[in-house]
Structure 1
């Protein structure tokens, strides 16, 4: 089915929504788009941030630190779900996501005012981590509240389509962040953007905050919540009831491992890790990678709505399970295709090149955790690994009692410094560091579209499914906790884990097994334990 046909069907259904529902969906979705923009603007600049807020000397460790700081925003998301989920079930949906929006907007603007590592040393990354944690706390309570609020305003037969507008907000927030970055980079010189222009997307979010607050203040409380309160059926302690009641706890676990875990790794791998992969491994320029991803997002985004609409017709469960199963099978070959079409010269070089690092210092603190915040590589073997990884050169490590030797394509092992190593690799066909990458643009977009499409298949029906899964008295808490444990602690670290595995093993595709494993696990658990929820009464 073409994008035009998808858009036509969904638009036809959307016209049938009453005016109040449209207003509710628009206000909730627009505010959530802006919150995701705030959260993702850092992720869109993560590779760039590694040069600003972390010490120089080991660029691969700095990149890991930047990605770990991005992941820090996910650490507090489950705690945000607990704090704001409780408030949402006690005092109301509307008031709670007004607070989350305010916290998110102020934390984002503050990042734009932070001094860099060169100015204040380690205080810079410490403050950055603190603000990312605040962002994580806020978004932990935002998304579950928004999707619950919209679902409780929706018609029974259009709940999948209606809530899919909230599902689409994460992609639209990423899209908006990329657009703003592309505009800033096009209007400013590279020097000005590196010096001060990167601050504009953060500080400018204040305008989005004011607009979002104005729109959401005009909303009314959820009718389902008001009826629950009027009948005195509300929970006095939603969190205790969510985790303390065996039936509710089972629902949380099924939601996490039968739905959300797979959705999370698929979404973050396709939307974020693909961006890192193109820029840091395939050596595309940021402008190239951003452009290709923007085109793919434009083509793929309508399918969030399509699969939300389809779930109203045939059910939610098997769409999600099928999307997870397909992702487990296709993620690896899709990234291999992305490498082939994204940098053909590098792919050809990698296919005919093998490097062996052998020596007695290659067993020194090989873990990526041990190296995460080290300002410099501490052994010659680590320096060579960092150099090879930074150039996407495959290698294996052999530990013995001799000094470090480097063997290229089965030749004799030699003691080489970094400059000699680069020269030797250049002689066997490694593309020059400053050589322009010439991607096959249409094929790159096609691969990225496939990744986005898989995410839409899993994510489109997700909001309605989760809202229908939990009883009304603990719904805000249950939906938020399940979403944020799955997205915050499983999906959010997918880019970091994937990059760390690449840096540790030298296999540029090795980190994708994390996504494959969770997608496959979710497909199995979902097929066995996840109930079909379409048509459930939200007042129960």
Structure 2
């Protein structure tokens, strides 16, 4: 076997420490960080009730998702700060610091007083903690992926780094198991009241384990060689983003690969879970179990697609996953409705709901300050109630001055003109109309929640597995590709920024954006346009500009 590259430089292999230790230690530490980060997403419904109780239910949940997304918003800044440190000081010490920030911030969420105790200070502090988590994760991933890739033998970078790619799903899976365990052990009432804090509190023990594991590692051989030779970058930010030769690859990596990978990842795992719980009204414990099973079945394919990318290249697998997602999301989520809540699917088919209203009188059902009760027009009265039910509806324009009408199949219910009412009369009229709407929906077969006994669990798991398989396609090879795109002296900085802009902004904001789109239109599937359009754009840009990287020498 050849021991040198074509230019005469020696080929690198894992030296100084066992390659299994490198993968295991890097991966396990990253699993714990993802566990910490994703607990918030899994418990968004409880966090909404605890920390955003000062606003209406729909706004509170969107706010909770927005705070979830805030952690993603700052990830690129964490990538810049810690990427620079990682390229100047070293890979190992940098991700020890990020781990400490993540673990302590997560523990603090578990002891934070709620809105009822300290008022508006509660959501403000919560937001600060989410920002700290986002900064930490922004510095973690690039370090772990770079560290493993720089240890990997030639021809196995996709395989080795794919283990890092499993950590996000393993972290989510671990968080699911912990949440499910506490829910069953405590019961739903106790878990909702205080038990939701326990998954956050135990993270302090995971922090201790993670720090001990990471302390067993040596520095990356590539970085150590640069350090010994005095060739490390003195200004990695300037080299990475101030020079067009490297900046153009940062932009291509973002738009031609990571952007699509991110929306496929978050649509296939997080949005699918939120869709089950909030839209299809599947109880949280059942939804968690079903998605945990699907993730367990799909997770080995991260490694498979990482290995396959060493054979056929990174580009066809990543772009192929994006293309399949863009083509299949609408039918897959439609099938998910049929399987998870067949009564809802049947009611939507036999008695579709339409709101006929004068559009200028209709407010967007989101109140950022918690003061608007959406009771100043007949349209608002109708849409406020429908937003709470989660029932999908179409909008039809009415003439000016015409009161809003909700059609449930062949039944038409005219909303009261709230502008002409006041005080107790308005309250009584709205309550009476909401009772009419509720009765109309019940008569048409719309269920208040999914009947657990009628859920086709095999079909739900199969659909969730299909969504997760698309995730493994786009995510398995992405770390290897990003590492290979950039030179070693600025690799940590260069790869971290596009990864975290893509996953932090395009992916992290997906649940919030998608649910806001649903709230604005009333169509429960409308939010899917966001990942579909972004994934399709990535396919086009990637085909035109993204190079194949799997045979590159990364030691330079």
Note whether the superposition's TM-score is higher than 0.5: yes
- CA distance in 1 between partners of 2:294 and 2:408 (Å): 38
Deviations 1:123-162 (A, max 9, x none): 1111111100000000001001100000001111111100
1:354 Cα deviation from its structure 2 partner: 3.0
Q: What is the 5 A alignment of 1:104-253? A: 104-253=102-251
> In structure 1, the residue corresponding to 2:394 is in which secondary structure?
strand
Q: Which of residues 540, 543, 551 is equivalent to 1:524?
A: 540
1:427 Cα deviation from its structure 2 partner: 1.6
1:377 Cα deviation from its structure 2 partner: 3.1
- CA distance in 2 between partners of 1:255 and 1:537 (Å): 18
RMSD of aligned alpha carbons: 1.9
1:434 Cα deviation from its structure 2 partner: 8.1
Rg (Cα) greater in structure:
2
1:407 aligned residue: 407
1:51 Cα deviation from its structure 2 partner: 1.1
Q: Mark the CA change 1:366 to 1:228 in structure 2 (over 3 Å): closer, same or farther.
A: farther
- CA distance in 1 between partners of 2:234 and 2:16 (Å): 34
Q: TM-score, with normalisation over the residues of structure 1?
A: 0.93
1:13 aligned residue: none
1:500 aligned residue: 516
> In structure 2, the residue corresponding to 1:429 is in which secondary structure?
coil
- CA distance in 2 between partners of 1:507 and 1:18 (Å): 57
- CA distance in 1 between partners of 2:551 and 2:45 (Å): 44
Q: What is the 5 A alignment of 1:331-346? A: 331-346=329-344
Structure 1 residue 366 and structure 2 residue 382: aligned?
A: no
Q: Contact 1:81–1:480 at 8 Å: present in 2 too?
A: yes
Q: Contact 2:382–2:415 at 8 Å: present in 1 too?
A: no
> In structure 1, the residue corresponding to 2:407 is in which secondary structure?
strand
1:9 aligned residue: none
- CA distance in 2 between partners of 1:515 and 1:375 (Å): 32
> In structure 2, the residue corresponding to 1:50 is in which secondary structure?
helix
Q: Contact 1:161–1:308 at 8 Å: present in 2 too?
A: yes
1:383 Cα deviation from its structure 2 partner: 4.4
Q: Which of residues 279, 285, 288 is equivalent to 1:287?
A: 285
1:78 aligned residue: 76
> In structure 2, the residue corresponding to 1:371 is in which secondary structure?
coil
> In structure 2, the residue corresponding to 1:407 is in which secondary structure?
strand
1:306 aligned residue: 304
Q: How many aligned positions are there?
A: 523
Q: What is the 5 A alignment of 1:454-469? A: 454-469=470-485
Structure 1 residue 386 and structure 2 residue 384: aligned?
A: yes
- CA distance in 1 between partners of 2:451 and 2:554 (Å): 58
Structure 1 residue 535 and structure 2 residue 545: aligned?
A: no
- CA distance in 2 between partners of 1:375 and 1:263 (Å): 38
Structure 1 residue 450 and structure 2 residue 450: aligned?
A: no
1:378 Cα deviation from its structure 2 partner: 2.2
Q: Mark the CA change 1:239 to 1:19 in structure 2 (over 3 Å): closer, same or farther.
A: closer
Q: TM-score, with normalisation over the residues of structure 2?
A: 0.91
Comparing 512-521 with 530-539, greater Cα deviation is found at 530-539
1:412 Cα deviation from its structure 2 partner: 4.4
Structure 2: gaps spanning 5 or more residues: 1-13, 417-432
- CA distance in 2 between partners of 1:318 and 1:415 (Å): 53
> In structure 1, the residue corresponding to 2:414 is in which secondary structure?
coil
- CA distance in 2 between partners of 1:136 and 1:262 (Å): 20
Q: Contact 2:413–2:436 at 8 Å: present in 1 too?
A: no
- CA distance in 2 between partners of 1:395 and 1:455 (Å): 30
1:6 aligned residue: none
1:413 Cα deviation from its structure 2 partner: 4.8
- CA distance in 2 between partners of 1:319 and 1:446 (Å): 21
Q: Mark the CA change 1:91 to 1:57 in structure 2 (over 3 Å): closer, same or farther.
A: closer
Deviations 1:72-109 (A, max 9, x none): 11111000000000000000000100000000000000
Deviations 1:317-362 (A, max 9, x none): 11111111111111111111111111101000011223333445x5
1:530 Cα deviation from its structure 2 partner: 0.8
Q: Contact 1:61–1:374 at 8 Å: present in 2 too?
A: yes
1:469 Cα deviation from its structure 2 partner: 0.5
Structure 1: gaps spanning 5 or more residues: 1-15
